[in-house]
Amino acid sequence: MKTLRRILHVAWNDLRIMVSDKVFFFWSLVFPMLFIVLFGLLFKASDSAPAVAEVTVVNRDQGRWGAYFVDKIKGPGLDVKSEAAVPAEFNRLLILPADFSAKIEARAAQNLDFKKREDASTKAAARVETRLYQAIARMLSEIVLYGDGDLTKFLDGHAEFRDIVQVKTKFPEKTVTVVPSGFDHSIPGTTVQFIMMMVIIYGGITVLEDRKKGVLARLLTSPLSKGEAFQAKLLGRWGMGVVQALILIVVGKILFKLNLGHLPLALLVLAVFALAIAALSIFIGSVFAKEDLIIGLAVLLANIFAGLGGCWWPNEIVPLGVRRVAMISPAYWAMDALTKLRFFQGGLGDILPHLGILLALSIVLSVVAARSFRIQD
């Protein structure tokens, strides 16, 4: 118990010194906020479907079924506009050919021309397409039901047959219903990137300075062993990463209404990730003897891992080959887990492989860092 208290005391002292540095808050909060706003706006979800989806219908049909089909399309959430000719501007356009009724009566296959303006909402277009499929299914079933008779008069006297076919749509389980974008992607991405950058820089440089100034050597005059001193330094740098993550998440919640999907699991992912980076920072601080090298390497690694790992843009938009290469980045496993929680409605079972890989990486890096940990130059 006394050993644990000594380790916690040294770790807390390291964390206190880091947090009390004014520059720490600039690099941990102010500068990351610039990245959050930049990438949050750059990859902001712009396809928000309107409350009412508009569709323009040009009915060129010469028979009786065209108008009947257009009436079937109408429904809640749809604004059906009829035009005699193709308008110069439209959001979504459906054209019924002149032989629409003739082909129906001849039981012949036909194609309907449906167009969407390039920059119009794809979600609204999907809503219209769903309604078209529903209208086609209902109309076909009614034709099969009543053959060539007067269907309108039949349905007037048999209302129970009007909804004999109902088409309901739903997404398969765990389908991505929200594209990874906006602040819900940029805040976790920036958090992961700056955990890497700041923990490696601060953690590595302070290990270097403690070694050069004899702080580590003086620690050994206390009851702490070399292994316990390493554990204290590792814990302090892990705490720094966790503190930075908490700062950005709290600010994200307040300013941008951040949604991480499952907050406790998201924090667990960031905590395990921070442990791996903390071990890496001690390794780098033990191996290199110049601050400039540590800073340069930290910036280089953080940016490479962030770019590959999906911190700047969603991994879903990059080629499969790039995603495979990205698996060498610790950030990839953290961001993929966070994406599953937020955008794929994932749970613990979905991110267990990610946690396992990050934990294994933490153990490997901790072992390597412990062996490289030097008390004196």
Give the up-direction half-sphere exposure of residue 291: CA atoms within 13 A in the CB hemisphere. 7
Q: Please give the order of strands across the beta sheet that includes 78-83.
A: 78-83, 53-59, 92-96, 113-116
Q: Give the pLDDT score at 202.
A: 86
**Domain 53-161 part of CATH 3.40.50.300:** no
Q: Give the pLDDT score at 304.
A: 92
* Cα separation, 59 vs 70, whole angstroms: 8
**Secondary structure class of 48 (helix, strand, coil):** coil
**Secondary structure class of 95 (helix, strand, coil):** strand
pTM higher than 0.85 for the full model? Answer: no
The domains of the chain are located at 2-45+183-372, 53-161
| pLDDT in single tens digits along all 377 residues of the chain | 777 888 887 888 888 877 777 777 777 777 788 777 777 776 665 545 566 788 899 999 888 888 888 888 888 888 888 888 888 888 888 999 999 888 887 878 888 888 888 767 777 777 888 888 888 877 777 776 665 555 555 556 556 555 555 555 555 665 555 566 678 888 888 899 999 988 998 888 888 888 888 888 887 777 878 888 889 899 999 999 999 899 899 988 888 888 888 999 999 999 999 999 999 999 999 988 888 899 899 889 988 998 888 888 888 777 888 888 989 999 999 999 998 998 877 899 999 999 999 999 999 999 999 999 888 76
Q: Which residue has the tokens 């035009």?
A: 83
Q: Give the pLDDT score at 177.
A: 52
Q: Give the pLDDT score at 174.
A: 55
Give the up-direction half-sphere exposure of residue 341: CA atoms within 13 A in the CB hemisphere. 27
Strand pairing class (78-83; 92-96): unpaired
Q: What are the Cα distances from residue 298, in Å, to 110, 197, 245, 248, 285?
A: 62, 5, 18, 20, 11
10 Å CB burial of residue 248 (0-12, 13-18, 19+) is: buried
Q: Give the pLDDT score at 273.
A: 96
| Six-digit token string for 364 | 């490997």
Q: Give the pLDDT score at 242.
A: 92
Strand pairing class (53-59; 92-96): parallel
Q: Give the pLDDT score at 60.
A: 92
Q: Give the pLDDT score at 342.
A: 86
The residues near 176 (Cβ < 8 Å, ≥ 6 apart) are 316, 343, 344
How wide is the angle at C-alpha 60 spanned by C-alphas 59 and 66, nearest 5°?
A: 55
**Contact (CB, 8 A) for 334 and 269:** yes
Q: Give the pLDDT score at 48.
A: 52
How wide is the angle at C-alpha 251 spanned by C-alphas 247 and 256, nearest 5°?
A: 150
